[in-house]
Amino acid sequence: MKQLKLIVAATSLLIFSGCDTLNHAAQQVITQGTGSINPSATEIALGLKQALETGTSYSAERLSAQNGFLGNAAIKILFPPEAQKAERTLRSLGLNSLCDNVITSLNRAAEDAAKEAKPIFISAIKQMTINDASNILLSGQTDAATQYFKRVTTSQLSERFRPVVQNSLGKVGATKYWGDAVTRYNQIPLTTDIDPDLSAYVTQMAINGLFREIAQEELKIRQNISARNTTLLQRVFGYADRYKGQ
């Protein structure tokens, strides 16, 4: 009965607490529940949410910094696929600077958009159920949490990112640089005119890059014991390690 009351009380904390009180709620559960070998469902939910809050916040903040996209070769945004032939042609004509300006401005727009991601992820974490958390932790997929976020946040991210990208493309000169590049390319004889939707392209690439970084953070805490820097994380992910080994 005492354990039941503990779980009910902790569940109430989980439902009504914001992410900034997760650490306090988690400590209460750990202090009262450490007699058990395995964490309770409530501990699992609190631990996973703690890990995800840290991982998503870090990813969003890192990518929204200057060169967050431009300086990361894995997610750096290049010319749209349908325009890469145009880029090669323009560079062959000595227009490297124009092409470089296009690429820099596309990545600056993505960095601006990434600033909008953190509150969306925090909202998704708050709404995650105990059952969701348990399934994510014990699924066996190293990117289970990332896939969860893709399902529940992609449409919101796209809606929030698109106007920011559109505004930023103009602010950082992308519209002008792109217009200059397209104009020069379309003037070349025997070429097919290009004019892809830059806003849609940068928005999607920004979202793709964000999820890639979140997946890296998730993998780190699943596989690197030193990344579990709280008692709750050690307890919850240690249990996941044991579960995986069964």
Considering Cα of 134, then 139, then 145, then 148, what sign does the dihedral take? negative
Q: Which helix (H) or strand (E) holds 17?
A: none
Does residue 90 fall inside a structural domain? yes
pTM: 0.81
Considering Cα of 51, then 53, then 58, then 64, what sign does the dihedral take? positive
Does residue 37 fall inside a structural domain? no
Asked if residue 11 has pLDDT above 50, the reply is no
Does residue 187 fall inside a structural domain? yes
- pLDDT value, residue 116: 95
Does residue 237 fall inside a structural domain? no
What are the structure tokens assigned to 52, written together?
């995800």
- pLDDT value, residue 36: 58
Distance of alpha carbon 102 from alpha carbon 175, whole angstroms: 8
93: left (phi over 0), alpha (psi -120 to 50) or beta: alpha
Distance of alpha carbon 121 from alpha carbon 118, whole angstroms: 5
Does residue 20 fall inside a structural domain? no
Does residue 21 fall inside a structural domain? no
Tell me the residue type at 81. Answer: P
The parent domain of residue 193 ranges over: 52-229
pLDDT in tens, 176-189: 888 888 888 888 88
Does residue 14 fall inside a structural domain? no
| Residues 111 and 66: beta-carbon distance below 8 Å | yes
Burial of 220 per CB tally in 10 Å (0-12, 13-18, 19+) = middle
Mean pLDDT of 9-27: 43
3-state secondary structure 68-111: CCCCCCCCCCCCCHHHHHHHHHHHHCCCHHHHHHHHHHHHHHHH
- Secondary structure letter of residue 34 according to DSSP: T
Asked if residue 105 has pLDDT above 50, the reply is yes
Report how many domains make up the chain: 1
Does residue 42 fall inside a structural domain? no
